[in-house]
Chain A
Protein backbone atom coordinates (compact mmCIF):
# COMPACT_ATOMS: atom_id res chain seq x y z
CA UNK A 1 0.00 0.00 0.00
CA UNK A 2 1.54 3.25 -1.06
CA UNK A 3 0.56 5.83 1.49
CA UNK A 4 3.07 8.45 0.42
CA UNK A 5 0.48 10.74 -1.05
CA UNK A 6 1.03 14.36 -1.97
CA UNK A 7 -0.47 16.50 0.78
CA UNK A 8 -1.16 20.19 1.09
CA UNK A 9 1.28 20.37 3.99
CA UNK A 10 4.15 18.92 1.91
CA UNK A 11 3.57 21.67 -0.62
CA UNK A 12 3.61 24.47 1.93
CA UNK A 13 -0.12 24.93 1.62
CA UNK A 14 -2.73 25.15 4.35
CA UNK A 15 -6.44 24.53 3.96
CA UNK A 16 -8.85 27.02 5.52
CA UNK A 17 -11.28 24.98 7.65
CA UNK A 18 -14.15 27.42 7.06
CA UNK A 19 -14.12 28.11 3.33
CA UNK A 20 -11.83 25.26 2.15
CA UNK A 21 -9.51 27.61 0.32
CA UNK A 22 -5.86 26.62 -0.05
CA UNK A 23 -3.52 29.24 1.37
CA UNK A 24 0.19 29.51 0.64
CA UNK A 25 2.48 29.63 3.63
CA UNK A 26 4.92 32.50 3.45
CA UNK A 27 7.70 30.96 5.49
CA UNK A 28 8.75 27.85 7.31
CA UNK A 29 7.78 29.47 10.61
CA UNK A 30 4.20 29.99 9.40
CA UNK A 31 3.60 26.26 9.92
CA UNK A 32 2.86 26.88 13.56
CA UNK A 33 1.51 30.41 13.30
CA UNK A 34 -1.98 31.73 12.83
CA UNK A 35 -2.81 32.17 9.17
CA UNK A 36 -5.38 34.58 7.79
CA UNK A 37 -7.32 33.09 4.91
CA UNK A 38 -7.04 35.13 1.69
CA UNK A 39 -10.65 34.34 0.81
CA UNK A 40 -12.76 34.53 3.97
CA UNK A 41 -10.24 36.38 6.20
CA UNK A 42 -10.81 33.83 8.95
CA UNK A 43 -7.89 32.90 11.19
CA UNK A 44 -6.71 29.32 11.32
CA UNK A 45 -3.69 27.04 11.74
CA UNK A 46 -2.30 24.51 9.29
CA UNK A 47 -2.98 21.88 11.96
CA UNK A 48 -4.99 22.55 15.08
CA UNK A 49 -2.33 23.38 17.69
CA UNK A 50 -2.14 21.07 20.69
CA UNK A 51 -5.03 19.10 19.20
CA UNK A 52 -4.30 15.94 21.21
CA UNK A 53 -3.94 17.83 24.49
CA UNK A 54 -7.24 19.66 24.01
CA UNK A 55 -9.03 16.46 23.05
CA UNK A 56 -7.62 14.70 26.09
CA UNK A 57 -8.59 17.55 28.41
CA UNK A 58 -12.20 17.78 27.19
CA UNK A 59 -12.41 14.03 27.30
CA UNK A 60 -11.34 13.84 30.94
CA UNK A 61 -13.85 16.59 31.78
CA UNK A 62 -16.58 14.58 30.03
CA UNK A 63 -15.65 11.43 31.93
CA UNK A 64 -15.78 13.27 35.26
CA UNK A 65 -19.18 14.83 34.49
CA UNK A 66 -20.50 11.43 33.40
CA UNK A 67 -20.20 10.05 36.96
CA UNK A 68 -22.66 12.39 38.75
CA UNK A 69 -24.82 12.25 35.61
CA UNK A 70 -25.47 8.60 36.37
CA UNK A 71 -25.60 8.77 40.16
CA UNK A 72 -28.07 11.63 40.62
CA UNK A 73 -31.69 11.32 39.54
CA UNK A 74 -32.36 12.80 36.11
CA UNK A 75 -36.10 13.03 36.58
CA UNK A 76 -38.54 13.00 39.50
CA UNK A 77 -42.13 11.95 38.81
CA UNK A 78 -44.61 13.29 41.39
CA UNK A 79 -47.96 11.61 41.63
CA UNK A 80 -50.42 12.61 44.37
CA UNK A 81 -47.63 14.49 46.11
CA UNK A 82 -45.20 11.58 46.31
CA UNK A 83 -41.96 11.92 44.43
CA UNK A 84 -40.39 9.01 42.56
CA UNK A 85 -36.83 9.83 41.45
CA UNK A 86 -35.21 7.90 38.62
CA UNK A 87 -31.65 7.92 37.30
CA UNK A 88 -30.77 7.37 33.65
CA UNK A 89 -30.32 3.63 34.20
CA UNK A 90 -33.41 3.13 36.36
CA UNK A 91 -35.43 5.04 33.75
CA UNK A 92 -34.28 2.53 31.16
CA UNK A 93 -35.22 -0.25 33.60
CA UNK A 94 -38.74 1.15 33.79
CA UNK A 95 -39.07 1.02 30.00
CA UNK A 96 -37.98 -2.63 30.06
CA UNK A 97 -40.48 -3.40 32.84
CA UNK A 98 -43.23 -1.85 30.74
CA UNK A 99 -42.15 -3.93 27.75
CA UNK A 100 -41.17 -0.91 25.66
CA UNK A 101 -37.99 -2.52 24.35
CA UNK A 102 -37.35 -0.35 21.26
CA UNK A 103 -37.49 2.83 23.38
CA UNK A 104 -35.29 1.25 26.04
CA UNK A 105 -32.72 0.40 23.38
CA UNK A 106 -32.82 3.91 21.87
CA UNK A 107 -32.40 5.62 25.25
CA UNK A 108 -29.69 3.19 26.34
CA UNK A 109 -27.78 3.78 23.10
CA UNK A 110 -28.11 7.56 23.22
CA UNK A 111 -27.46 8.05 26.93
CA UNK A 112 -24.97 5.34 27.87
CA UNK A 113 -23.36 3.69 24.85
CA UNK A 114 -22.74 6.80 22.71
CA UNK A 115 -21.13 8.97 25.43
CA UNK A 116 -18.98 6.08 26.66
CA UNK A 117 -18.05 5.05 23.12
CA UNK A 118 -17.09 8.63 22.36
CA UNK A 119 -14.98 9.03 25.47
CA UNK A 120 -13.21 5.67 25.10
CA UNK A 121 -12.90 6.04 21.33
CA UNK A 122 -11.29 9.48 21.54
CA UNK A 123 -8.88 8.30 24.25
CA UNK A 124 -7.92 5.48 21.91
CA UNK A 125 -7.47 7.79 18.91
CA UNK A 126 -5.33 10.20 20.94
CA UNK A 127 -3.22 7.28 22.18
CA UNK A 128 -2.80 5.82 18.70
CA UNK A 129 -1.80 9.15 17.16
CA UNK A 130 0.60 9.87 20.02
CA UNK A 131 2.40 6.53 19.90
CA UNK A 132 1.75 5.50 16.31
CA UNK A 133 1.17 1.90 17.45
CA UNK A 134 -1.11 -0.10 15.14
CA UNK A 135 -2.34 3.05 13.49
CA UNK A 136 -4.81 2.42 10.65
CA UNK A 137 -5.74 5.89 9.38
CA UNK A 138 -8.37 4.62 6.94
CA UNK A 139 -10.25 2.71 9.66
CA UNK A 140 -9.58 5.24 12.38
CA UNK A 141 -10.75 8.26 10.39
CA UNK A 142 -14.03 6.47 9.58
CA UNK A 143 -14.41 5.66 13.27
CA UNK A 144 -13.77 9.32 14.12
CA UNK A 145 -16.50 10.44 11.73
CA UNK A 146 -18.96 8.01 13.23
CA UNK A 147 -18.16 9.45 16.69
CA UNK A 148 -18.56 12.99 15.42
CA UNK A 149 -21.91 12.17 13.82
CA UNK A 150 -23.29 10.40 16.91
CA UNK A 151 -22.36 13.22 19.32
CA UNK A 152 -25.52 15.39 19.23
CA UNK A 153 -27.85 12.37 19.54
CA UNK A 154 -26.84 12.00 23.17
CA UNK A 155 -28.88 15.12 23.91
CA UNK A 156 -31.96 12.94 23.43
CA UNK A 157 -32.50 12.28 27.13
CA UNK A 158 -32.23 15.97 27.96
CA UNK A 159 -34.88 16.87 25.38
CA UNK A 160 -37.15 14.07 26.63
CA UNK A 161 -36.93 15.36 30.20
CA UNK A 162 -37.53 18.95 29.03
CA UNK A 163 -40.64 17.83 27.12
CA UNK A 164 -41.99 15.75 30.00
CA UNK A 165 -41.46 18.58 32.49
CA UNK A 166 -43.43 20.93 30.26
CA UNK A 167 -46.21 18.54 29.22
CA UNK A 168 -46.89 16.64 32.43
CA UNK A 169 -47.96 19.52 34.65
CA UNK A 170 -51.27 18.49 36.20
CA UNK A 171 -50.81 20.06 39.61
CA UNK A 172 -51.25 17.66 42.51
CA UNK A 173 -52.35 14.69 40.37
CA UNK A 174 -49.09 14.27 38.55
CA UNK A 175 -46.11 16.35 37.52
CA UNK A 176 -42.54 15.81 36.43
CA UNK A 177 -39.48 17.66 37.69
CA UNK A 178 -35.96 17.54 36.30
CA UNK A 179 -33.22 16.21 38.57
CA UNK A 180 -29.67 17.49 39.09
CA UNK A 181 -28.21 14.78 36.81
CA UNK A 182 -29.54 16.59 33.77
CA UNK A 183 -26.96 19.36 34.28
CA UNK A 184 -24.08 16.91 34.49
CA UNK A 185 -25.35 14.85 31.61
CA UNK A 186 -25.63 17.90 29.34
CA UNK A 187 -22.10 18.88 30.31
CA UNK A 188 -20.91 15.37 29.37
CA UNK A 189 -22.49 15.69 25.93
CA UNK A 190 -21.07 19.17 25.33
CA UNK A 191 -17.61 18.18 26.53
CA UNK A 192 -17.53 15.12 24.25
CA UNK A 193 -18.62 17.27 21.30
CA UNK A 194 -15.86 19.79 22.08
CA UNK A 195 -13.39 16.92 22.45
CA UNK A 196 -14.35 15.57 19.02
CA UNK A 197 -14.12 19.06 17.51
CA UNK A 198 -10.64 19.55 18.98
CA UNK A 199 -9.31 16.39 17.36
CA UNK A 200 -7.67 16.93 14.00
CA UNK A 201 -8.18 13.78 11.85
CA UNK A 202 -5.33 14.84 9.57
CA UNK A 203 -2.93 13.94 12.38
CA UNK A 204 -3.77 10.28 11.79
CA UNK A 205 -2.51 10.53 8.22
CA UNK A 206 0.48 12.72 9.12
CA UNK A 207 1.68 10.23 11.70
CA UNK A 208 1.21 7.35 9.31
CA UNK A 209 3.16 9.16 6.59
CA UNK A 210 6.00 9.85 9.02
CA UNK A 211 6.10 6.15 9.86
CA UNK A 212 6.17 5.13 6.19
CA UNK A 213 9.05 7.53 5.47
CA UNK A 214 10.94 6.17 8.47
CA UNK A 215 10.39 2.59 7.31
CA UNK A 216 11.62 3.41 3.82
CA UNK A 217 14.76 5.01 5.20
CA UNK A 218 15.43 1.98 7.36
CA UNK A 219 14.97 -0.36 4.40
CA UNK A 220 17.51 1.47 2.28
Chain B
Protein backbone atom coordinates (compact mmCIF):
# COMPACT_ATOMS: atom_id res chain seq x y z
CA UNK B 1 0.00 0.00 0.00
CA UNK B 2 0.98 3.62 -0.11
CA UNK B 3 4.04 4.65 1.81
CA UNK B 4 3.37 8.37 1.70
CA UNK B 5 1.15 8.47 4.75
CA UNK B 6 1.55 11.41 7.08
CA UNK B 7 1.81 9.63 10.41
CA UNK B 8 0.57 12.76 12.20
CA UNK B 9 -2.85 12.27 10.60
CA UNK B 10 -3.43 8.79 11.98
CA UNK B 11 -3.60 6.82 15.19
CA UNK B 12 -3.68 3.08 15.70
CA UNK B 13 -5.31 1.08 18.46
CA UNK B 14 -2.69 -0.20 20.90
CA UNK B 15 -4.61 -3.43 21.46
CA UNK B 16 -5.67 -4.54 17.99
CA UNK B 17 -3.67 -2.35 15.58
CA UNK B 18 -6.72 -0.94 13.75
CA UNK B 19 -5.85 2.28 11.96
CA UNK B 20 -7.95 5.43 12.24
CA UNK B 21 -7.74 9.05 11.19
CA UNK B 22 -6.60 11.13 14.13
CA UNK B 23 -9.65 12.42 16.00
CA UNK B 24 -9.78 16.04 17.08
CA UNK B 25 -10.70 15.68 20.72
CA UNK B 26 -11.71 18.44 23.08
CA UNK B 27 -11.10 18.18 26.85
CA UNK B 28 -13.07 15.35 28.41
CA UNK B 29 -13.53 13.39 25.18
CA UNK B 30 -12.00 10.03 24.38
CA UNK B 31 -11.74 7.89 21.26
CA UNK B 32 -12.75 4.24 21.43
CA UNK B 33 -11.68 1.57 18.97
CA UNK B 34 -14.77 0.22 17.16
CA UNK B 35 -13.18 -3.19 16.73
CA UNK B 36 -11.96 -4.07 20.23
CA UNK B 37 -13.46 -1.34 22.43
CA UNK B 38 -10.14 -0.12 23.80
CA UNK B 39 -9.84 3.60 24.59
CA UNK B 40 -7.13 4.67 22.17
CA UNK B 41 -6.85 8.35 22.93
CA UNK B 42 -8.16 10.57 25.64
CA UNK B 43 -8.01 14.29 26.20
CA UNK B 44 -8.19 14.74 29.94
CA UNK B 45 -9.67 17.79 31.63
CA UNK B 46 -7.16 20.21 33.09
CA UNK B 47 -4.59 17.45 33.13
CA UNK B 48 -1.38 19.30 33.98
CA UNK B 49 -2.86 21.36 36.85
CA UNK B 50 -4.67 18.42 38.43
CA UNK B 51 -1.79 16.00 38.14
CA UNK B 52 0.64 18.61 39.46
CA UNK B 53 -1.37 19.24 42.61
CA UNK B 54 -2.22 15.60 43.28
CA UNK B 55 1.41 14.58 42.92
CA UNK B 56 2.49 17.45 45.17
CA UNK B 57 0.04 16.21 47.80
CA UNK B 58 1.37 12.70 47.31
CA UNK B 59 4.95 13.83 47.85
CA UNK B 60 3.99 15.60 51.09
CA UNK B 61 2.20 12.49 52.36
CA UNK B 62 4.96 10.12 51.33
CA UNK B 63 7.09 10.23 54.48
CA UNK B 64 4.22 9.97 57.01
CA UNK B 65 2.67 7.11 55.00
CA UNK B 66 5.88 5.10 54.97
CA UNK B 67 7.25 5.91 58.42
CA UNK B 68 4.24 6.31 60.74
CA UNK B 69 2.91 3.10 62.30
CA UNK B 70 -0.11 1.77 60.42
CA UNK B 71 -1.51 -0.44 63.15
CA UNK B 72 -0.61 -2.06 66.45
CA UNK B 73 -1.63 -5.03 68.56
CA UNK B 74 -1.99 -5.46 72.29
CA UNK B 75 -1.91 -8.92 73.81
CA UNK B 76 -1.21 -9.97 77.39
CA UNK B 77 -0.24 -6.42 78.31
CA UNK B 78 2.31 -6.07 75.55
CA UNK B 79 1.99 -3.62 72.72
CA UNK B 80 3.69 -3.59 69.34
CA UNK B 81 3.07 -1.53 66.22
CA UNK B 82 4.51 -1.45 62.72
CA UNK B 83 4.81 0.91 59.78
CA UNK B 84 5.21 0.12 56.09
CA UNK B 85 8.98 0.39 56.48
CA UNK B 86 8.87 -1.98 59.50
CA UNK B 87 7.31 -4.65 57.26
CA UNK B 88 10.34 -4.53 55.01
CA UNK B 89 12.80 -4.42 57.92
CA UNK B 90 11.06 -7.37 59.62
CA UNK B 91 11.35 -9.42 56.42
CA UNK B 92 15.05 -8.60 56.14
CA UNK B 93 15.58 -9.60 59.80
CA UNK B 94 14.02 -12.99 59.13
CA UNK B 95 16.18 -13.53 56.06
CA UNK B 96 13.50 -13.09 53.39
CA UNK B 97 15.61 -10.81 51.23
CA UNK B 98 13.79 -11.44 47.96
CA UNK B 99 10.37 -10.75 49.43
CA UNK B 100 11.70 -7.68 51.26
CA UNK B 101 13.13 -6.34 48.00
CA UNK B 102 9.93 -6.96 46.08
CA UNK B 103 7.66 -5.49 48.75
CA UNK B 104 9.98 -2.48 48.81
CA UNK B 105 9.81 -2.17 45.03
CA UNK B 106 6.05 -2.62 44.60
CA UNK B 107 4.82 -0.75 47.68
CA UNK B 108 7.50 1.93 48.13
CA UNK B 109 10.02 2.46 45.32
CA UNK B 110 7.80 2.27 42.23
CA UNK B 111 4.99 4.46 43.67
CA UNK B 112 7.54 7.00 44.94
CA UNK B 113 9.40 7.17 41.62
CA UNK B 114 6.09 7.47 39.77
CA UNK B 115 4.98 10.32 42.01
CA UNK B 116 8.22 12.26 41.59
CA UNK B 117 8.14 11.51 37.86
CA UNK B 118 4.60 12.83 37.48
CA UNK B 119 5.50 15.85 39.60
CA UNK B 120 8.60 16.63 37.54
CA UNK B 121 6.82 16.28 34.21
CA UNK B 122 3.83 18.40 35.20
CA UNK B 123 6.16 20.96 36.82
CA UNK B 124 8.09 21.41 33.56
CA UNK B 125 4.83 21.82 31.64
CA UNK B 126 3.27 24.16 34.15
CA UNK B 127 6.23 26.52 34.26
CA UNK B 128 7.21 26.01 30.62
CA UNK B 129 10.63 24.53 31.22
CA UNK B 130 10.47 21.83 28.57
CA UNK B 131 13.74 20.21 27.62
CA UNK B 132 14.68 17.38 25.25
CA UNK B 133 15.70 15.08 28.11
CA UNK B 134 11.99 14.77 28.96
CA UNK B 135 11.51 12.42 26.00
CA UNK B 136 13.58 9.51 27.40
CA UNK B 137 12.41 10.43 30.90
CA UNK B 138 8.74 10.09 30.05
CA UNK B 139 9.43 6.92 28.08
CA UNK B 140 11.12 5.34 31.11
CA UNK B 141 8.21 6.51 33.26
CA UNK B 142 5.82 4.28 31.28
CA UNK B 143 7.76 1.13 32.10
CA UNK B 144 6.66 1.38 35.74
CA UNK B 145 2.96 1.44 34.90
CA UNK B 146 2.04 -2.11 35.82
CA UNK B 147 4.29 -2.50 38.87
CA UNK B 148 2.78 -0.10 41.40
CA UNK B 149 0.74 -2.05 43.93
CA UNK B 150 -0.34 0.42 46.60
CA UNK B 151 -3.99 -0.54 46.14
CA UNK B 152 -3.17 -4.21 46.69
CA UNK B 153 -1.21 -3.29 49.82
CA UNK B 154 -4.26 -1.38 51.08
CA UNK B 155 -6.41 -4.51 50.70
CA UNK B 156 -3.62 -6.38 52.49
CA UNK B 157 -3.96 -3.98 55.43
CA UNK B 158 -7.73 -4.56 55.57
CA UNK B 159 -7.33 -8.35 55.45
CA UNK B 160 -4.64 -8.48 58.13
CA UNK B 161 -6.74 -6.20 60.35
CA UNK B 162 -9.60 -8.69 60.10
CA UNK B 163 -7.24 -11.48 60.96
CA UNK B 164 -5.84 -9.66 64.00
CA UNK B 165 -9.20 -8.37 65.20
CA UNK B 166 -10.25 -11.89 66.05
CA UNK B 167 -7.79 -12.73 68.81
CA UNK B 168 -5.92 -9.56 69.71
CA UNK B 169 -6.69 -6.00 70.66
CA UNK B 170 -6.10 -4.03 67.51
CA UNK B 171 -5.34 -0.35 67.41
CA UNK B 172 -5.23 1.82 64.33
CA UNK B 173 -2.54 4.46 64.07
CA UNK B 174 -2.13 7.70 62.19
CA UNK B 175 -0.03 5.95 59.57
CA UNK B 176 -3.15 4.27 58.17
CA UNK B 177 -4.78 7.64 57.46
CA UNK B 178 -1.57 8.90 55.86
CA UNK B 179 -1.33 5.73 53.78
CA UNK B 180 -4.93 5.98 52.55
CA UNK B 181 -4.44 9.63 51.58
CA UNK B 182 -1.14 8.76 49.90
CA UNK B 183 -2.88 5.99 47.93
CA UNK B 184 -5.63 8.39 46.85
CA UNK B 185 -3.28 11.17 45.77
CA UNK B 186 -0.89 8.93 43.86
CA UNK B 187 -3.79 7.19 42.10
CA UNK B 188 -5.36 10.54 41.20
CA UNK B 189 -2.01 11.91 40.02
CA UNK B 190 -1.56 9.08 37.54
CA UNK B 191 -5.23 9.08 36.44
CA UNK B 192 -5.11 12.83 35.75
CA UNK B 193 -1.88 12.64 33.76
CA UNK B 194 -2.72 13.00 30.07
CA UNK B 195 -0.04 11.00 28.28
CA UNK B 196 -1.25 11.71 24.74
CA UNK B 197 -1.17 15.45 25.37
CA UNK B 198 2.30 15.33 26.91
CA UNK B 199 3.71 13.29 24.02
CA UNK B 200 2.09 15.58 21.48
CA UNK B 201 3.53 18.70 23.11
CA UNK B 202 7.00 17.15 23.42
CA UNK B 203 6.86 16.10 19.78
CA UNK B 204 5.87 19.57 18.58
CA UNK B 205 8.66 21.06 20.62
CA UNK B 206 11.60 18.76 19.99
CA UNK B 207 10.96 16.39 17.08
CA UNK B 208 11.57 18.15 13.74
A residues near B, CB below 8 A? 3, 5-13, 15, 17-24, 38-42, 95, 98, 100, 103, 106-107, 137-138, 141-142, 145, 148, 151-153, 155-156, 158-160, 162-171, 173-174, 177-178, 182-183, 186, 190, 193, 197, 201-202, 204-206
Q: Are B155 and A167 in contact (CB under 8 A)?
A: no
**Chain B: which residue is nearest A138 at the CB level?**
B36
**B124 within 8 Å of A (CB atoms):** no
Cα of A17 to Cα of B145 in the assembled complex, Å: 12
| Most central of B80, B157, B196 by chain A CB within 10 Å | B80
- List CB contacts (< 8 Å) of B151-166 with chain A: 152-153, 155-157, 159-160, 162-164, 166
B residues near A, CB below 8 A? 1-3, 5, 7, 10-12, 14-19, 35-38, 41, 70-73, 75-76, 78, 80-83, 86-91, 94, 96, 98-99, 102-103, 106-107, 135-136, 138-139, 142-143, 146-147, 149, 152-153, 155-157, 159-160, 162-164, 166, 168, 195-196, 199, 202-203, 207
Residues of A within 8 A of B5 (CB): 11, 13, 24
| CB pairs A–B below 8 angstroms (6 shown) | A24-B7, A138-B37, A162-B103, A163-B87, A163-B160, A164-B163
**Chain B: which residue is nearest A168 at the CB level?**
B73
Cα of A103 to Cα of B81 in the assembled complex, Å: 22
**Chain A: which residue is nearest B95 at the CB level?**
A178
The 9 closest A-B pairs by CB, nearest first: A159-B156, A166-B82, A8-B12, A166-B90, A166-B87, A22-B7, A40-B139, A163-B160, A205-B16
Residues of A within 8 A of B11 (CB): 20, 22
Residues of B within 8 A of A106 (CB): 155, 159
Cα of A19 to Cα of B3 in the assembled complex, Å: 22
Q: Are A41 and B136 in contact (CB under 8 A)?
A: yes
Cα of A173 to Cα of B76 in the assembled complex, Å: 8
Q: Are B94 and A177 in contact (CB under 8 A)?
A: yes
**Chain A: which residue is nearest B76 at the CB level?**
A173
- Residue of A7, A166, A169, A183 touching B18 (CB-CB under 8 A): A7
Q: Are A182 and B17 in contact (CB under 8 A)?
A: no
Chain A proximity of B160: nearest CB distance (Å): 4
Assuming the A-B contacts A8-B12, A170-B75, are A178 and B139 also in contact, with contact meaning beta carbons closer than 8 angstroms in the complex? no
| Most central of A10, A145, A170, A197 by chain B CB within 10 Å | A170
Assuming the A-B contacts A158-B103, A160-B159, A163-B160, are A5 and B18 also in contact, with contact meaning beta carbons closer than 8 angstroms in the complex? yes
Residues of B within 8 A of A148 (CB): 146
Residues of A within 8 A of B106 (CB): 152, 155
**Chain B: which residue is nearest A174 at the CB level?**
B75
Cα of A12 to Cα of B12 in the assembled complex, Å: 12
Q: Are B36 and A182 in contact (CB under 8 A)?
A: no
Assuming the A-B contacts A15-B12, A186-B99, are A24 and B3 also in contact, with contact meaning beta carbons closer than 8 angstroms in the complex? yes
